[in-house]
Structure 1
Amino acid sequence: MPVFIEDTDIGDLLKLNICQVISEKFARLKEEAIKFRSQPVQTCHSNGVLYVNQREFACSLPDDDAISVIGTEDATTCHILVLRNKVLIFFYFFTDEFHNQPLPISLMTACMSDFNDVVKNGIHWPVIYGIGVDLKNGTIFPATFSDKGPDMTLRSTKTFVGDKDMMNIYDYKSRELRIKSFHYNPWPRAFLWLQQSDTVIKQNLSTSPDVEPPDFVSHVRETLKYVILHPQPGPDVFPGGQPRRYRKDGHGMWVRIE
């Protein structure tokens, strides 16, 4: 994946401390990151919002009449990636697979690592946990989400025990959110994890236990319960192996398409 900043290929520099490189050679990006993280966090509700979970991505166009904002949050050690050209917007909850993409990328905003960091009582915290993208004008803004859409517990099992492939969750042409069938093996230890204290769960099932959002443990517990109830996502979850399909109704809510 060739990456450019101000027409400079920074491929070799990516092996170094990227924040230090930006500070020394591309000060504008550091200034933009500080400016970005200083913006107020906007709360996004259901209407017109498509939430992207970890190891998911979505793609849409400005003329999408069902979706006006794509976004995600709860990123502590993960990265969120937004790709945009003149008419097309991709939204990734970043994973290593992106490095295999062949198209050159111009880095415009880099609010990450040291540039999205604040120290509280000796602990490093992210300043912002999530972002949204306005499809109509391409604006990116710090965001939190009151509604993360359908089947979030099912989608989270993919992160915990499912395959590691990225999942495209949105079909622009049909305006449908689609959760494609995926497989995972039974997880016998899920019941044992469910019996543990909140502290033990955070210390062992989080990459950043000191800075997780308040609902982290409750979300993990719901995921564990789901894995116990559905040891394998068979026909009861994905009838006929078909995706679980949703479309926005007149009130902006995702409604299951049977």
Structure 2
Amino acid sequence: MIFVGEQPFAAPVASQSPDYDTFVALMEHPFLVNASEILNAIPERKFSFSRDRESGSDRSEDTSWVYVFQREYATVNPEIVKFVGTDEATTCVGLIIRNRESGMTSVAHMDSPDIVDIGLTQMMTWLVDHNAEVELDVHLIGGFEDASPNHMNGSTSPKSRTELNGYSFPLCTKIVKSLLRREEKFHIQTLHVLWHNTRRDFKGNAYPIFNGLLVETSTGIVTPANFDRTSRCPDEIVRRIRVTACCQDPSWDGKLLDTYDTLTDRIVIAACFWTSYEMHKALRLQQLPDSAILLNCSTSPSAEGPDFVENLRRQCEYVIRHPHWRQTFPKRQPRIFERTEDGGWRRC
């Protein structure tokens, strides 16, 4: 069930393309159009753990954060974690769901329509008391017009569904469709996706306006954000590899990757495996020029961040150095990290 501006949202009736028409109606809702305009005026926050350390700020107040990688999600308690966020989203979508009463906040980095339904159920685990009706605030940021080169001659919304092919549109519509069909009360506060999140250069090439988000759990305030390598932790490379490796594990089919333990405030990275094929693939990728890596490994080669290729090369180097997954996960045990006094992470 979806609410906009505190009012129930009614999907268009008697439509030949109900999912498409419902999504466009939401995107054109004055409340959400205004929310996107306000978001566009907010400066993107550069989040860096190393810079925060040098500032001498109150560590427990300013750097209790959790970072979410692609296909991961985390549900955090505002009494323990001040910030939770994600970035590096081009055709992906960052999804925030927050319980208005408790402040419990869940953030997911959705990368495929296939994980939306089960992923939402995973996110709801710590957010909803099934014995009471709760109000949930929802923010979606990410996804852009990744396959619409002849975009609408300057108009602000699509004239036809064919103008919204690509990767972002199916994901965005699936999220909206699933929220609408669930019983929980979802108050959509931000729908900064597709044409609301698209900028164009002088040649008409499309790029996302924002690639990331940060939510302050105590207030629910959402800010566009960009994280550096010091704040995308812990165990950055292993978690990046796991995004691809989990595709070989049927136990993760249709699911988000569960990484953060809400009760203990620990990062728990479940074991994943890779084969000799992955090592040979890494060796081949290392021989390619940057342009070829972008074309072969990205859903939006022209819109990736400046460190996309470097991050892929670092993943390849790790797999080449550790061709057997058991070197990373001995006895198939998880890799566990606990928070340190200065706000960082330490492996248990």
TM score, norm. by length of structure 1: 0.90
Which of 230, 238, 241 is equivalent to 1:157? 241
Counterpart in 1 of 2:82? 68
Mark the runs of 5 or more structure 1 residues left unpaired by the alignment.
none
Letter in 2 for 1:42: R
Q: CA deviation at 1:183?
A: 2.3
Is the aligned partner of 1:99 residue 2:99?
no
What's the C-alpha RMSD, in Å, of the aligned pairs?
2.1
Q: CA deviation at 1:17?
A: 5.6
- Secondary structure, aligned partner of 2:192: coil
- Cα distance change on mapping 1:151 and 1:18 into 2, 3 Å: farther
Which of 331, 334, 337 is equivalent to 1:246? 337
Higher helix share: 2
Counterpart in 2 of 1:135? 217
Counterpart in 2 of 1:15? 19
- Cα distance change on mapping 1:11 and 1:213 into 2, 3 Å: farther
Mark the runs of 5 or more structure 2 residues left unpaired by the alignment.
50-62, 122-181
Which of 39, 49, 60 is equivalent to 2:42? 39
- Secondary structure, aligned partner of 2:301: coil
Which of 310, 328, 334 is equivalent to 1:218? 310
TM score, norm. by length of structure 2: 0.68
Letter in 2 for 1:98: V
Measure, in 1, the Cα distance between the counterparts of 2:206 and 2:294.
Answer: 16
C-alpha contact (below 8 Å) 2:213/2:226 kept by paired residues: yes
Measure, in 2, the Cα distance between the counterparts of 1:52 and 1:241.
Answer: 23
- Secondary structure, aligned partner of 2:275: coil
- Cα distance change on mapping 1:4 and 1:10 into 2, 3 Å: farther
Measure, in 2, the Cα distance between the counterparts of 1:161 and 1:178.
Answer: 16
Q: CA deviation at 1:255?
A: 0.9
Greater CA radius of gyration, 1 or 2? 2
Q: CA deviation at 1:167?
A: 1.5
Paired positions, count? 252
Counterpart in 1 of 2:283? 191
Counterpart in 1 of 2:53? none
1:183-240 Cα distance to aligned partner (Å, 9 max, x none) = 2333222211110000000111111111110000000111112222233421x21233
Counterpart in 2 of 1:119? 200
Which of 252, 258, 270 is equivalent to 1:180? 270
Identity percentage of aligned residues: 25
Moved more, 152-161 or 111-120: 152-161
Moved more, 85-94 or 72-81: 85-94
Letter in 1 for 2:217: L
Measure, in 1, the Cα distance between the counterparts of 2:293 and 2:283.
Answer: 12
Measure, in 2, the Cα distance between the counterparts of 1:253 and 1:70.
Answer: 14
Moved more, 204-213 or 238-247: 238-247
